[in-house]
Amino acid sequence: MTLIPQEIFDRLPSAIIVVDDRRRVMHANRSAIDLIGNNALNRDLALSLRHPVILDSLDAVLAGSTEQNGEITIPAPVSQSFVFHAERILDTPLSDGSFATLVLDNITSAHKTEEMRASFVANVSHELRSPLTAIIGFIETLQGPASDDANARQRFLNIMFRESQRMARLIDGLLSLSRVEINEHIAPKDAVDVPHIIQNVMETLQPQATKRGITLSLDAEDNTPVAIADADQLHQVFLNLIENAIKYGGEDNAVKVSTKPVDRVPGSARPGLSVTIQDQGPGIPKSLIPRLTERFYRIDEARSSTAETGMSSTGLGLAIVKHIINRHRGHMTAQSEIGVGSTFTVFLPAHPDPASASR
């Protein structure tokens, strides 16, 4: 059965699936194959798209019901939202029997945009209130009691400058997080040389490490595969993780990074690679580790704002890392022992064509 030329079928942005009266997938365009997998053809759609609303709608139209429409969310591997339309096709000149078409349009970006708009307003109003209140208070003091006090004026201006920098970092972090989240449902497809990315990150962070007396090292196994990844986003992931290791790893210590192949990425059956970042800092209580990737979560203010760095944490760095790794269909673990240090491990899927790796 051929309804339209496959090359035209594949150019359509909607996911389009044609099933027979036994719900076997007879045709699927490229967008649909990306959703249900290459092995879905000639099999019951239920084996590839296990969503009761979709299956019930197809059964209904195949049984003679009118067209079916609705909206669904597919939770894995990354939550995606679709509007769908199912309709019956009766006997055609090309084939006998009943068939049904299922058309799915991805509306995840629109949903995420609305969710992020609401989240952005709530987060900004909460996180910016403290520095804004402090700046307003110091301005009022400088306009009144401290207007002629040169020492107080300089001290207050320094605090105001620091608080305004904190607000700028918060806004930058929120915008970065929003950009990552809005495309999280679209998996990257490039082949990326991960050790090369890490080496570039280490060169960028070397001045910070030198200032704290920290030694950076990379141990990349020769058979480390290339990753299916977005090079710029991976740079951000390892910049955040290694910078945290430098910031919180304790002076005159070492930060060790290593890469190696793994048989499978946790949570999937795909082969991949792991990247481990290990510091020798004071460690993190085990009870707090599950909260590390929450937005704006800080273990404590002493750890989040250090005299050595002179910069307070926004609490967004690991949240950004989590969402980037989700987009890559990867996985991250964190382990820590008080007085020994912390270890973060990132797992990424391997690219099937290592020769195409970008550097």
Q: What is the set of domains in the chain, with CATH numbers?
A: 6-106 (3.30.450.20), 108-186 (1.10.287.130), 187-359 (3.30.565.10)
Q: Which of 7-11, 61-65, 213-217, 225-229 has the lowest mean pLDDT?
A: 7-11
pLDDT value at 314 more than 80: no
Q: Which of 121-125, 221-225, 264-268, 307-311 has the lowest mean pLDDT?
A: 307-311
pLDDT value at 316 more than 90: no
Q: Which of 37-51, 124-138, 281-295 has the lowest mean pLDDT?
A: 124-138
Tokens 């949240």 sit on residue: 319
With CA atoms as reference, report the closest residue to 309 among 357, 248, 239. Answer: 248
pLDDT at 305: 47
C-beta separation of 61 from 67 below 8 A: yes
Q: Could you tell me the pTM of the whole model?
A: 0.59
User: What residue type is assigned to position 302 of the chain?
Assistant: A
Angle ∠(8,13,18) on CA atoms, nearest 5: 65
Q: For 143-149, what is the mean pLDDT?
A: 80
pLDDT value at 302 more than 60: no
Query: What is the dihedral sign for C-alpha 39, 41, 46, 52?
Result: positive
For 356, other C-beta atoms within 10 Å of its C-beta total: 11
pLDDT value at 309 more than 50: no
Query: What is the dihedral sign for C-alpha 326, 327, 330, 336?
Result: negative
pLDDT at 205: 92
pLDDT value at 342 more than 90: yes
Give the chain's mean pLDDT.
84
* CA pair distance 355, 254, nearest whole angstrom: 33
pLDDT at 311: 47
Strands (E), the chain: 15-20, 25-28, 68-74, 80-89, 99-106, 190-192, 215-220, 227-229, 254-262, 272-278, 331-337, 341-349
Residue 230: band (very low, low, confident or very high) from pLDDT cuts 50, 70, 90: very high
Which segment, 35-44, 150-159, 251-260, is predicted with the most confidence on average?
A: 251-260
* CA pair distance 335, 327, nearest whole angstrom: 22
Give me the phi and psi of 158, to 5 degrees please. -60, -45
* CA pair distance 48, 43, nearest whole angstrom: 8
C-beta separation of 318 from 301 below 8 A: no
Angle ∠(147,153,155) on CA atoms, nearest 5: 155
pLDDT at 219: 95
